[in-house]
Amino acid sequence: MISSIPKWVGNLFEDTLRPNVKIIASSYLSPQMKLIRFQGDISNMSFRIGYANVIRVSETEFRNYTVAYYDSKNGVLDIIFHIHRKGVGSLYIDSLDVNDELYISPPRGKKLFSPDIKQQVFFGDETSIGLACSALPTLKRNKHQYRFLFELEDENRNVPLLLGLENVTVFSKKDTFRNDKWVSDLSIFKTGDWKDASFVLTGNVKSVQTFRKVLKDKTTGKIRAQGYWLEGKKGL
């Protein structure tokens, strides 16, 4: 996904693709986590677990966001945003309010979910909570065994429970998923119960890389990884 394009190209798309959704509700789950409900014609959008939608956040910048919930019949979708206020995307989303209109692209992306595998483990950070929310109904409906592992800032640690996520373990970012020896000591590796699970790793690129390295040594399960952001790099 191209995260930035020349202004004239962006304007060309904007002239062609008019706002297709309107914000009908907005709330903060924590000072850094914002839940926005959009309404519009999403009947032709094909949603898949792990897919992302593109939002134009400035004249030249675009960002990917994962839909946490959708109802095509009523034209409603929810996105959970991480508001760190350190980039153009975060500042733009923070400024949005009820009745604002914008264009959200149809979802597309990488297949992250393997429904044929009974055990599912999802790992990520604040940027991964929307993915977890989108996966939960399917996991419950199909009677999967599942766990969610999050590394979160302390002020965001209650957000997964506020959203109704289950089987959640939250780690402080003061712990470190950048240390392979520390990751190797996680409780999920203490027994062989999850060695054949499907592991979905998202969020910070360095954390994803470290966890993936440990998993390759300790499990035989399927690993799907997609870094959402990296310090010092704009829009993955």
- pTM for this prediction: 0.91
> Tell me, what's the pLDDT at 186?
93
Lowest mean pLDDT among 2-6, 15-19, 155-159: 2-6
Residue 39 pLDDT exceeds 50: yes
Residue 235 pLDDT exceeds 90: no
Domains of the chain: 7-102 (2.40.30.10), 119-229 (3.40.50.80)
Under 8 Å between Cβ of 11 and 95? no
> Tell me, what's the pLDDT at 101?
95
Confidence grade of residue 6 (pLDDT, cut at 50, 70, 90):
low
> Tell me, what's the pLDDT at 102?
93
Q: How far is CA 142 from CA 10, 72, 76, 118, 161, in A?
A: 41, 21, 24, 9, 21
Residue 146 pLDDT exceeds 50: yes
Q: DSSP alpha helices (H): ranges in 1-128?
A: 7-16, 88-95
Q: Give the pLDDT mean for 76-101.
A: 94
Confidence grade of residue 59 (pLDDT, cut at 50, 70, 90):
confident
> Tell me, what's the pLDDT at 2?
46
Residue 1 pLDDT exceeds 60: no
The identity of residue 197, as a single letter, is A
Beta bridge partners of 78: 37, 69
> Tell me, what's the pLDDT at 230?
87
Residue 44 pLDDT exceeds 80: yes
Confidence grade of residue 231 (pLDDT, cut at 50, 70, 90):
confident
**What is the share, in percent, of the chain residues with pLDDT greater than 70?**
91
Confidence grade of residue 161 (pLDDT, cut at 50, 70, 90):
very high
Confidence grade of residue 25 (pLDDT, cut at 50, 70, 90):
very high
Under 8 Å between Cβ of 57 and 88? yes
Beta bridge partners of 227: 203
What are 163's two structure tokens? 């959203």
What are 64's two structure tokens? 């990917």
